[in-house]
């Protein structure tokens, strides 16, 4: 302290360093910055904001290589007139919009489009209805029977598509098929070496049975999982109000599981609409291309007919049709989220 002549005492300046007896003054700490080396190994640390991008970079790169690049090449190919000769000579003449105008003016293309919509609608309705009923059954069964039914569903779901197609083809075989034997045993006439694949409608009917059989387990198991989230008090309240089983489902269960039905139906529409393996492996789109849906139609035009540019245009139009369908469905999903 400094004592003035008036007797007032004033303190020392605040920026003066404090003095400790026998200890040297401490050096001021250096400000930490991004350029400071890490104490471990002297490596420079990355900013924390980059970590999420680095983690998803491999997935984004894989998607770009496996999906985006082929899609761009397919769109470019759809504007080119490439047949077998051009493909061998490695010539890529431009066709402009000729492939698209040819398709849009072709009645066969619109027949395939309508057939694809009908095939998708029939499959999705059957899959959602039967799968939901089996899911409700799983919720009512005891532990042992639920385990047996769940294992059967998983085995059907896990069966490879090509193997299941061969099994169904054997069931409906003209000479040694089980279905012809069943129909004859039941007393029906005209099933001696009956050809179940004689028409496009009968072929698609068999394919529909195959697709529904292979898709029911996904809906049923997910339905059962969703039912476990519905509280028992809701069932008890409905029972006290005198509601029967049907009323309980529509008034209690369905409103609670509406997001499940929206998402599951959305996935089933996509999977069924692009079902290629089942239709092509069953009868190659025959007879006389009468069972072709859009993916099979594009494959036959490209590989069998060697109309590569036209096949690319078919695939692009298939994607656009699916996007238009899904846009309406996305609006329903977003509306449902806003209501919640």
Q: What is the dihedral of CA 86, 91, 94, 98, to 10 degrees?
A: 10
pLDDT of residue 285: 86
pLDDT of residue 40: 53
- Look at residue 16 in the predicted model and tell me its pLDDT: 46
More confident residue, 265 or 33: 265
pLDDT, residue 11, reads 43
Residue-wise pLDDT for 44-82, tens only, equals 555 567 888 888 889 889 888 888 888 898 899 889 888
Q: pLDDT category, 8, cuts 50, 70, 90?
A: very low
Give exposure, 239-264, as e/b (b: 16+ Cβ within 10 Å).
eeeebeeeebeeebbeeebeebbbeb
pLDDT score of 255: 81
Residues 6+ apart with CB under 8 A from 237: 252
Contact by Cβ (8 Å): 189, 182:
no
- The pTM of the full predicted model, rounded to 2 decimals, is 0.76
Highest mean pLDDT among 3-17, 150-164, 254-268: 150-164
Angle between helices 200-227 and 143-158 (to 10 degrees): 140
pLDDT at site 339: 67
CA–CA separation, 117 and 123 (whole Å): 10
**Cα–Cα distance measured from residue 53 to residue 42, given in angstroms and rounded to the nearest whole number:** 24
| Cα–Cα distance for residue pair 288/294, rounded to 1 Å | 15
When the pLDDT of each residue in the chain is averaged and rounded to a whole number, the result is 82
CA dihedral sign of residues 24, 30, 32, 35: negative
Distances (CA, A) of 55 to 52, 60, 152: 5, 10, 38
Does 266 score more than 70 pLDDT? yes
3-12, 25-34, 74-83, 84-93, range with greatest mean pLDDT: 74-83
Go through 167-196 and write b for each residue having 16 or more CB atoms within 10 A of its CB, e for each that does not: ebbebbbeeebebbeebeeeeeeebeebeb
Q: Smallest Cα–Cα separation from 260: which of 219, 303, 311, 204?
A: 219
Tokens read off for 51: 């970590």
Residue with more model confidence, 291 or 256: 291
How much is the pLDDT for 260? Answer: 84
pLDDT (tens digit, 9 = 90+) per residue, 74-89? 899 889 888 877 777 7
Q: Give the pLDDT confidence score for residue 251 in this predicted structure.
A: 79
Gyration radius (Cα) of the chain, Å: 34
Q: What are the backbone dihedrals phi and psi of residue 155, each rounded to the nearest 5 degrees, phi first? A: -65, -40
The 10s digit of each residue's pLDDT in 199-232 is: 999 999 999 999 999 999 999 999 998 888 887 7
Between 22 and 141, the more confident residue is 141
pLDDT (tens digit per residue) in 89-125: 787 788 888 889 999 998 999 999 999 999 999 999 9
pLDDT value of residue 149 = 92
The token pair that represents 41 in the structure block: 């190994």
- Write the pLDDT tens digit of every residue in 130-168: 999 999 899 888 889 999 999 999 998 889 999 999 999
pLDDT the model gives residue 46 = 52
Output b/e per residue, 271-283; b: 16+ Cβ within 10 A: bbbbbeebbbbbb
What is the pLDDT averaged over residues 234-260?
79
| Mean pLDDT across 32-53 | 59
The rounded percent of the chain whose pLDDT value lies above 90 is 31
């Amino acid at each position: 302290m400094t004592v003035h002549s008036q007797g007032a005492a004033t303190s020392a300046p605040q920026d003066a360093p404090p003095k400790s007896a026998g200890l040297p003054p401490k050096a001021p700490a250096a400000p930490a910055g991004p350029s400071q080396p890490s104490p471990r190994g002297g490596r420079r640390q990355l900013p924390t904001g980059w970590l999420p991008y680095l983690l998803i970079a491999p997935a984004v790169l894989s998607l770009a290589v496996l999906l985006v690049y082929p899609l761009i090449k397919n769109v470019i190919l759809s504007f080119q007139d490439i047949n077998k000769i051009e493909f061998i000579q490695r010539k890529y003449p431009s066709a402009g919009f000729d492939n698209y105008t040819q398709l849009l003016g072709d009645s066969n293309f619109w027949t395939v489009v309508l057939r694809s919509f009908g095939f998708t609608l029939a499959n999705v309705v059957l899959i959602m209805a039967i799968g939901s009923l089996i899911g409700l059954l799983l919720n009512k069964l005891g532990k042992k029977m639920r385990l047996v039914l769940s294992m059967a569903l998983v085995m059907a779901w896990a069966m490879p598509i090509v193997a299941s197609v061969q099994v169904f083809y054997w069931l409906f075989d003209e000479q040694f098929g089980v279905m012809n034997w069943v129909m004859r045993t039941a007393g029906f006439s005209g099933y001696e070496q009956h050809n179940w694949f004689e028409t496009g409608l009968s072929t698609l009917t068999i394919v529909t049975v195959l697709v529904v059989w292979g898709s029911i387990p996904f809906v049923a198991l997910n339905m059962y999982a969703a039912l476990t989230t519905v509280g028992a008090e809701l069932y008890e309240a409905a029972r006290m109000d005198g509601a029967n089983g049907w009323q309980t489902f529509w008034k209690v269960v369905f409103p609670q599981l509406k997001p499940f039905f929206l998402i599951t139906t959305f996935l089933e529409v996509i999977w069924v609409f692009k079902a290629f393996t089942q239709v092509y492996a069953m009868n190659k789109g025959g007879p006389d291309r009468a069972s072709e849906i859009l993916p099979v139609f594009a494959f036959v035009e490209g590989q069998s007919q060697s109309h590569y540019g036209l096949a690319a245009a078919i695939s692009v139009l298939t994607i656009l049709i699916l996007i238009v369908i899904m846009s309406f469905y996305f609006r329903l999903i977003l509306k449902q989220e806003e209501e919640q």
